[in-house]
Chain A
Amino acid sequence: MEINTLRKEFRKFQNLEYYNDLISNNIKLLPFNFKRLNSGKELLISMVGDYLIAPNGTVNYLLEKKIDKISESLYFDLLSNHIISDSDDIKSLELLANRYRAKKTNAFNFAQLHIFVITLRCEHTCQYCQVSRVSQNKEKFDFSHLNLFKGINLMLASPEKDITMEFQGGEALLAFDLIKDAIAYTKKKAKLVNKRINYVICTNLAPINNEILEYCKLEKILVSCSLDGHEELHNDNRKRPGRNSYSLVEKGLNLSFDIVGRENVSALMTTTTLSLQHPIKIIDEYRKFGFNSVFLRPISPYGFATKNKNSNYQTVEFIKFYSKGLDYILELNRNGEYFKETYTSILLKKILTAYSENYVDLMSPSGLINSVIVYDYDGKIFLIDEARMLAQMKDFTFQIGTVDDNWETLLSNPIIEKIGDAGVNDYIAGCSTCAYNIYCGADPVLHHATQGDMYGFRPDSSFCQRNMSVLDIIFNKIDNEPDTLEIFKSWVNNE
């Protein structure tokens, strides 16, 4: 053909309708879940976590294929948020597969957090604690050197390149010399297998001193402490001879800030019945110490804790506490102060981005195995920290072996397969049709502990109740408060 004829051929343009895949009203629904918001609007969430807030009636129109009732712009939004498809062959399938993989990327990992319960000894007798002993008996309640080194060898034989080694107790610093031995051994061995190890010490700060902190600075160890709130509350929760836990934390925090720097110090709170009335005071306490976040964390509702009056509260009461706290925090942000609530931020990352967050309770497949491993003081290996509490009640379901085993033996424990099954919320009754499925987890440990069944029964699951409520609060805010969405974004961005 002559160039000019070719040119003419190319200039025959087709109109928009020519590119439309939709035949009459034959739309295809992609897997999505939905629920109604307080405003009466409908929240639709795709299988990869893209959400859309649509007018009342939208889902019904989709089900009945009455697409003439849906505005063009909403129709386009439904397409672009992967809620419907125009053609029989879902042309976005491979794109969706990539998106789903990105959302579930944690499932491809092995544990990056290795917790060593270096000693069970503690000088506190906290209300909610069930795994510590006031004792001088190191023989009985500390890790033996032999078991410790075996545990470290196991940690270094696991597949991840970047590992966090966390020392817990009891009060970990009562075994400071043992921690030093552990780190020296780990450093020497890690070099040989080319792994990078970050260290964290969890402490109540009571035993902290210059010498310990100088060592932390030298070894780049993060200091993680407990701070439950203002002085009266903290001392009520965290009992100690002399009722001086708070003043020791205050002293310890300031000394830590001075020596290792603010960026290497974090604090964690536990909510007891006594805390429920004081969300604002607790938050202000964190602000007072210059922290810009707080994790409003409920107590793990099992074992010993449920038998104690100060730990045994209803989820509804916790949600009231959380909600009040969140409103206060948002108000701080509106007034120009950057401050975030950590649990909300973890959920927001899943809601507002294509990615996820490595937080054990909110993972599906469950974060057991692919997120955490716990080495107890006596050489037992558990799948999660909470499993130690169950073990105190003589329930060893989540113990996969001891430091004398190798990974082949540990991972062939039948419990692992069971968790692989019960830890995926996509097909758990109550979860599979839940709007929030993609943002949530399964938590087989909690359901085993509270309901005697790893799959669990959602209608009276405290896990389900809490997460549904928190997500309802988040989405109703997104729906009603445009400025809150901007604050939420800033939390996800500045992490």
Chain B
Amino acid sequence: MNEEIKLSWKGKIHMSSSELFVGRVISKEIKNQELSVILEGKDLKTDRFKLFYLDSTDRLEDNSLSNIKGLNDIEIGDIISVKNSKIRSVYRTKSNNNFIFATIRCNSNCLMCSQPPLDVDDTLENYLIWNYTIDLLNNSPRHLTITGGEPTLLGERLVLLINKILDKFPDLLITILSNGRMLALENVIDTLSNIRYRKNVVFAIPLYSDVYKIHDHIVQAKDAFYQTCLGIHKISSLGFPVEIRVVLHKLSNPRLLSLSKFIHKNFPFVYHVTFMGLEIIGYTKANKSELIEENTTMAEENLLASLKFLSSWKYNVSIYNTPLCHIPESLWSYAKQSISDWKNSFKPECERCLMKKDCSGFFTWNIKYAKVKPFLEKP
């Protein structure tokens, strides 16, 4: 998909708009290039079932929002939430990359955060939305990511959501993107131990350096390194699979091999280590001079040495979010198509490239910074 999939819209409020409505798209009609969508669901504040209307034109009706732009890619069966004038896409039936957005809060403030946190307590609202969304799902998602912010801030409610969806779809695999710091706390571990399907829930935890202060600086939080390390041990000892994620940039590149050795010695039980390209959005834009690597030769050599080291010890290793023309061919076998459909794009030149079908492409927001070298002959 080359188009960016929209995740939220704004509309114009009419009388008696819902305070927090969640519903499934049951009809989508296009007349004279005007779009109207009907949702069937529930107002979570009053717990009353009702229909809700979304329109691209001006329409005066109860339970509706109008003058909405860009609704086109909504499909029948998708699940949408409405709060005041704001509409959010909660679940896409056709997507492989559905996610639970747990909270916008975070206890870290990473220099390269793509989704900068806010100190706003949205945990109850997000819980209520997904608690009902799970009721509305007819089929299991192919995979589900729980992201944020820091999802573990949801506490007990995170456990309730996970148990509820896995009770309904016991074969579903869930990845939780957590910074792992809360997992060092005994009471948080106690809470998470109530998850009934531990093998289905992967904790994907970032570690950016083997040296505490470099990691702490990158995530902008004191003692984060030690908390995350301990969190990895504790969550793994409960039986959850752990993946370690390393974002590649100027601050993490120099000690990449040392970090790989550190992982081997301290976390030999991890089932996957992923090296991820930088997303140039959010905070990264403000910290470009600190983050964007100039010494690409060193970075490439360190990445190669790290991948070789970890694979020689039989770890499952991958490169995420990095197009094939940005890495040497010797690393291609590690590169995965990893960018979620809603934020994945290619350059026009990429259409000519023979490797496009195997390539991760770009984050939509990276595209304007990106340079590509299309492969016109099979390498």
Q: Which of A345-386 contact B (CB under 8 A)?
A: 353-355
Are B286 and A18 neighbours in the complex by a CB distance under 8 Å?
no
Partner of B118, one of A6, A15, A92: A6
With A10-B109, A10-B117, A354-B266 in contact, is A16–B213 under 8 Å at CB?
yes
With A91-B223, A98-B233 in contact, is A20–B213 under 8 Å at CB?
yes
Mask for A397-427, Cβ within 8 A of B = 1, else 0?
A: 0000000000000000000000000000000
Q: B369 at interface (Cβ–Cβ under 8 A)?
A: no
Which interface residue of B117, B212, B233, B258 has the most chain A CB atoms within 10 A? B212
Residue of A with least CB distance to B221: A19
Chain B residues closer than 8 Å to A14, beta-carbon distance: 217, 220
Partner of A13, one of B117, B220, B229, B233: B220
Are A19 and B217 neighbours in the complex by a CB distance under 8 Å?
yes
Inter-chain CA distance A79–B109, complex, in Å, is: 24
Are B220 and A354 neighbours in the complex by a CB distance under 8 Å?
no
Inter-chain CA distance A76–B111, complex, in Å, is: 21
Chain B residues closer than 8 Å to A493, beta-carbon distance: 312-314
Partner of A10, one of B118, B214, B229, B258: B118
Mask for A27-51, Cβ within 8 A of B = 1, else 0?
A: 0000000000000000000001010
Chain B residues closer than 8 Å to A10, beta-carbon distance: 109, 116-119
Chain A residues closer than 8 Å to B258, beta-carbon distance: 76-77, 80
Are A15 and B266 neighbours in the complex by a CB distance under 8 Å?
no
By size class, the interface of chain A is 20 to 34
Inter-chain CA distance A92–B229, complex, in Å, is: 9
Are B116 and A76 neighbours in the complex by a CB distance under 8 Å?
no
Which interface residue of A79, A80, A353, A486 has the most chain B CB atoms within 10 A? A80
Are A79 and B212 neighbours in the complex by a CB distance under 8 Å?
yes
Partner of B226, one of A7, A20, A50, A92: A92
Are B212 and A91 neighbours in the complex by a CB distance under 8 Å?
yes
Inter-chain CA distance A11–B213, complex, in Å, is: 19
Are A3 and B118 neighbours in the complex by a CB distance under 8 Å?
yes
Q: A94 at interface (Cβ–Cβ under 8 A)?
A: yes
Which interface residue of B111, B118, B265 has the most chain A CB atoms within 10 A? B265
Inter-chain CA distance A77–B209, complex, in Å, is: 11
- Minimum CB–CB distance from A12 to chain B (whole Å) comes to 9
- Minimum CB–CB distance from A276 to chain B (whole Å) comes to 35
- Minimum CB–CB distance from B200 to chain A (whole Å) comes to 25
Across the A-B interface, give the 4 residue pairs with the lowest CB-CB distance, nearest first: A80-B210, A19-B216, A91-B226, A19-B213
**A-binding residues in B (CB < 8 A):** 109, 111, 116-120, 210-214, 216-217, 220, 222-223, 226, 229-230, 233, 255, 258, 261-262, 264-266, 268, 283, 286-287, 312-314
- 13 A-B pairs with C-beta separation under 8 A: A6-B120, A11-B283, A11-B286, A13-B111, A21-B213, A76-B210, A79-B211, A80-B211, A80-B258, A91-B212, A92-B226, A98-B230, A493-B312
